Amino acid sequence: MSEQMSKHDQVLLTLVMNLQGSVMVQLGKLADPATGKMARSLDGARYVIDVLEMLQTKCRAETHPEIVTMLDRVVMELQLNYTDEVKKGGDEPEPPVAEDAGDSAKSTPDEPAPEAQA
């Protein structure tokens, strides 16, 4: 960054990044770091996006220009992701896509391998 950021600018930057991660978890785009599970809460995501929009408006005049630019980008990115998730419907995240069609024949921890089921 071209100018030295104030302590408050650094705290704001950290807050925005934390809120961004929270929204991505609530949109079902990232696993919840506390549980490792995917979950979706569109209402929660919408609320946090609204908080970021408020910060964007209220902080514009007295905030480091690079943070304002980053905040604008984050809000736009989250709004686009939110719209994408709303179009999908429901509050359940999309199931992960299997990497290989042959994976279905492999065993899981709860069931034996297909060859052992004779």
pLDDT, one tens digit per residue, over 20-78 is 999 999 999 999 999 999 999 999 999 999 999 999 999 888 888 999 999 999 999 99
Tell me how far apart the 2 most distant CA atoms of the chain are, in Å: 71
The pLDDT value recorded for residue 93 is: 57
Pairwise pLDDT comparison (111 vs 78), residue with the higher score: 78
Q: Check if the beta carbon of residue 105 is closer than 8 Å to that of residue 86.
A: no
Let me know: does 59 contact 68? Beta carbons within 8 Å: yes
pLDDT at 7 over 60: yes
Angle, CA of 91, 92 and 96, to the nearest 5°: 150
